[in-house]
Amino acid sequence: MAGTIIVGVTGARVSTRAVDWAIARATTRRQAIELVSVVGGAIGAIGEAEVLGAAQTATQQLLDGEAKRVADAGVPVSTRVESGNPVTKLIEASKDAAMLVLGSDYRGPGTGPSRGVHGIRIAAGATCPVVVIPDRDLGEGMGVVVGIDGSEVSEHAIEFAAAEADRLGEPLIAVSVWTPVHTPRNAMEVYPDLYLANMQATTEEVLALSLGGLSARYPDLRVVRRVERGHPSHVLAGIAADARMVVVGTHGRGTLARFLLGSISQELLSHLPTATAVVR
């Protein structure tokens, strides 16, 4: 994937992690990085111009410090300070980006919900892949997990995940999840064995078809196939907790895109198991 990686930068500690992740990616893929920060909250009040100007100056200084780290790593870098709604501005920036990288202050189970920009609305509206980085060390994970359901967006997620796994020298963990038909309580306490076996076999077939041709494009890539029963987001989160990255596909929804995201993507972004990529 050529082009520029845009990183949304704030004063939060996790922004440093997001920039570091982008540097590692840009170095191996020979991409440039643009650091973007958005000063929000202006309403046109009297005396606001002076406050806004000071905020923009301080924000540029923040970007300059991060830009030096990027440049020192040998990666081409530029900076941009915007004013307005951060969600809107970053969605607009995604139109010219190969990838958008954001940080979240989510630090793992038991730490409470994320409070900062964690990417749900931005990932819903962005036109490029969005990678959200949680505020914790991801160095011990292994493998790139991708959720597969046989859809077209799933194919895009597979290609993205395979490229990342190949770049990292990690296995690709391809996961398909099947969920039994929900029935009212006590309507069917035990599912027929034939039904469960067919659900498993059908899902295995979907997974095999989805991965067809992958070995020809990535001959050195090790692929681990997993077909599991359960709720997709719960299964993916459990497997991804020990991985370097998890990748899911999502459908765009036109003018509603910035407000809606598929349930699986949204649940993963709300409780980030690891670096999480949302791909169209």
CATH number, position 235? 3.40.50.620
Domain membership flag for residue 178: yes
Q: Residue 125: inside a domain, yes or no?
A: no
Domain count, the chain: 2
Cα–Cα distance for residue pair 89/82, rounded to 1 Å:
7
Q: CA 143 to CA 147: how far, in whole Å?
A: 13
Task: Verify that 54 and 146 share a domain, yes or no.
Answer: no
Q: Are 22 and 126 a contacting pair, CB within 8 Å?
A: no
pTM of the model: 0.89
Specify if 113 maps to a domain: no
E strand or H helix that includes residue 121: helix 120-125
In terms of C-beta density within 10 A (0-12 exposed, 13-18 middle, 19 or more buried), how is residue 54 classed? exposed
Residue 161 and residue 79 in one domain? no
Determine the Cα–Cα distance for residues 44 and 105; give it in Å rounded to an integer. Answer: 30
Q: Are residues 91 and 7 in the same domain?
A: yes
Asked if 275 and 173 sit in the same domain, the reply is yes
Could you list the residue range(s) of the whole structural domain that residue 84 is in?
A: 1-103
Distance (Å, whole) CA 11 – CA 251: 31
Same-domain check for residues 69 and 150: no
- In whole angstroms, what is the distance from residue 275 CA to residue 103 CA? 9
Cα–Cα distance between 189 and 24 in angstroms, integer? 50
Q: Look at residue 123 and tell me if it is in a domain.
A: no
Last residue of a domain, one of 84, 103, 122: 103
Question: Of 87, 103, 119, which marks where a domain is finished?
Answer: 103
15 within domain boundaries: yes
Verify that 150 and 275 share a domain, yes or no: yes
195 and 71 fall within a common domain: no
Would residue 119 count as lying in a domain? no
CA distance 208 to 227: 10
162 and 270, same domain (yes or no): yes
Give mean pLDDT in consecutive 10-residue pieces for the chain, a chain of 280 residues: 88 94 95 96 75 92 98 98 92 95 80 60 91 86 94 92 95 96 68 92 96 94 97 94 94 49 82 92
* Dihedral, CA of residue 142, residue 240, residue 229 and residue 271, to nearest 10: 170
CB 249 within 8 A of CB 232: no
> Nearest Cα to 224, choosing from 146, 159, 277, 151?
146
Within 10 angstroms of residue 182's Cβ, the number of other Cβ atoms is 7
Domain boundary among 103, 125, 156: 103
Dihedral angle over CA of 247, 253, 259, 263, nearest 10: -40
In a domain? residue 108: no
Over the range 19-52, which residues count as b (16 or more CB within 10 Å of their CB) and which as e? bbbbbebbeebebbbbbbbbbeeeeeeeeeeeeb
Residues 143 and 91 in one domain: no
Domain identity same for 270 and 178: yes
pLDDT (0 to 100) of residue 149: 92
| 33 in a structural domain | yes
